[in-house]
Structure 1
Amino acid sequence: MRVSDRVGRSRPALSPRPARRFATAAMVGVVLYILVDAVLQFLPPHYSVVSDAESNLAVGPFGWIMNLNFLGRAGLTLCAAGAIGLVGPGSRLRRTGLVLLVIAGACSAALAFLPTDINGRGEFGLRTSTLTGALHLAVASLGFLAALAAFALLTAWLRGVPALRRVYPAALALTVVAAVGLLCVGLADHLAPTLLGLAERVCLAGILGWAFVVCAAIRRRVTDSAGATQGSASASQVDTSVSGDSDIESIPSAASHRAKSG
């Protein structure tokens, strides 16, 4: 078979650009979310990081910024799901995990439209006094549980993907951090309500950290794969060029041999 035939029949490799873009967007989203959250802590009405829930930041003169941040968290969650869905082999673990991850993102987006109830002076813990406040608490709880379940399934999936297995220990550790934080939220609400905000932020640290490290691993993997593919393509072009030159050089040699024979 001629070289030109082999080149013509080869199939183009799948471009890794979509996965890399999704992963990069999710990583940027995590950083922006944390920065906005930190800045809002210094703006009035100055909620406590330790005792007040993060959702309180959405109530007040700058609450609209936190509502945008909730939408941003939904966006980065969907980007993380997109990146994960474009790499590695598909399986029931990944499909179920991605569905739960999308649900978690949708819950985050819904929080922007459901203002939470603010406790009175000297009151702490998870308390609701309005319908929207009760819906906010229910949706937030569903979002945390869906994210935690998604991470558990997707972390197990990561362990079976050779290209991403190196990130498995970090993903598992951050899943445990998120689970411990969520458990502490429930315990703090009943036993130590003044520590509710701290417990929630520990859970958020695990959730955001998981999304960042997994997307970083995906971005690094697809970048390395793209470089290897380009290297192989360059080597193939060089081989083709050398083969073509050899064929051309053989033509006068064959003609000379026939002349001598005549």
Structure 2
Amino acid sequence: MQSRARARRSLALIAMAGVVLYVLVDVVLQLLPPHYSVLADAESDLAVGPFGWIMSLNFLGRAVTSAALAAALLITLPRTIRRDVGLVILALAGLCSAVLAFFPTDIPEVSGTGVAPTTSGGVVHLVAASTGFVLALVACWVLTVESRRGQARIDRPTALAVGLATLGAALLLGTITALPALLGLAERICLVGILGWVFVTASLVRSGQFAV
């Protein structure tokens, strides 16, 4: 039992540190050339340019973060079908993030808008990014419901994170179809919600607030 508790805390700490590092790298890269727009340009654009390799490593780090949280929940939550499904979905979302590191996005022309890819690698990136967002959002919902099973309500930080991720996903869909000038902002709102959920969930696992 002690070894399981240590493993649980260590994995949760890795996930929490992964979220913090990911956000810090994103912020730093946003300040470096070629200075993409936070409002209009997708986060994936940060992987294209003189410092793009750093963002590629960041995508791999996000995959490791997802894997760490999935492993922590695997040894924390009682085994149920819903838990297993949620963990598989979370792992697949992390895999999608890893794919982004090897297939850079296509940067639209200065006069263009939207995220329409122009190369085969760009197509792979767009599919992986879109799939990853959907899977991560579904994992948030499934694992939140499962982890808080039997409780009267979901705690406020978790509910806020899941709600923000859901709102961001809805806004992202709207910007893709109608308002591409705000695509970057909508994507980042969704990402903040997902990463916030990962951090909050990992902190709850580390503090032992989930039943073993």
Q: TM-score range by the shorter chain?
A: over 0.9
Out of 8, 14, 17, the position equivalent to 1:19 is 8
* Alignment partner of 1:195 is 2:182: yes
Relative distance call for 1:100 and 1:136 in structure 2 (3 A) is same
CA distance in 1 between counterparts of 2:193 and 2:173 reads: 16
Say if 2:167 is the partner of 1:171: no
Query: Could you tell me how far apart the structure 1 residues matched to 2:58 and 2:74 are?
Result: 24
Partner in structure 2 of residue 260 of structure 1: none
Post-superposition, which runs of at least 4 consecutive aligned residues in structure 1 deviate over 3 A? 12-15, 165-169
Tell me if 1:214 matches 2:188: no
Residues 67-109 of structure 1 deviation map (CA, whole Å, 9 limit, x = unaligned): 0000000000100101111113111111000000000000000
Moved more, 81-90 or 109-118: 81-90
Query: Quick one: higher RCO (CA 8 Å, sep 6+), 1 or 2?
Result: 2
Amino acid at match of 2:202: C
What corresponds to 1:150 in structure 2?
139
Q: Which one has the bigger helix percentage?
A: 1
User: Could you tell me how far apart the structure 1 residues matched to 2:197 and 2:7 are?
Assistant: 20
CA distance in 2, matches of 1:119, 1:130: 11
- CA 1:154–1:22 in structure 2 vs 1: closer, same or farther (change >3 Å)? same
1:82 counterpart (50, 71, 92): 71
For 1:196 and 1:179, how far apart are their aligned partners in 2? Answer: 15
Alignment partners' CA distance in 2, 1:166 and 1:14:
31
1:135 Cα offset (Å): 1.0
Written as runs of structure 1 = structure 2, the 5 A alignment for 1:5-44 is 15-44=4-33
Q: Quick check: 1:52–1:124 contact (8 Å CA) kept in 2?
A: no
Distance in structure 2 (CA, Å) of the matches to 1:192 and 1:55: 18
2:79 aligned counterpart, secondary structure: coil
Q: TM-score, normalised by structure 1?
A: 0.76
2:106 corresponds to which residue?
117
CA shift for structure 1 position 167: 5.9
User: How big is the shift at 1:170?
Assistant: 2.5
Partner of 1:98: 87
Which of 31, 47, 53 aligns to 1:58? It is 47
1:132 and 1:156 map into 2 onto residues whose CA distance is 36
Give structure 1 stretches of 5+ with no counterpart. Answer: 1-11, 226-262
Is the CA contact 1:155–1:168 (under 8 Å) kept in the aligned structure 2? Answer: no
For the residues of structure 1 that align with 2:148 and 2:10, how far apart are their CA atoms? 23
Q: Choose 12-21 or 31-40, whichever is displaced more.
A: 12-21
Structure 2, unaligned runs of 5 or more: none
Q: Deviations over 1:103-147 (max 9, x none)?
A: 000000000001100011132211111111011001111111111
Q: How does 1:135-146 map to 2 (within 5 A)?
A: 135-146=124-135
Percent identical across equivalent pairs? Answer: 48
How many angstroms does 1:161 deviate by? 6.0
Q: What is the CA–CA distance in structure 2 between the aligned matches of 1:74 and 1:130, rounded to whole Å?
A: 24
Is 1:132 the counterpart of 2:121? The answer is yes
Contact 1:167 1:217 in 2 (8 A): no
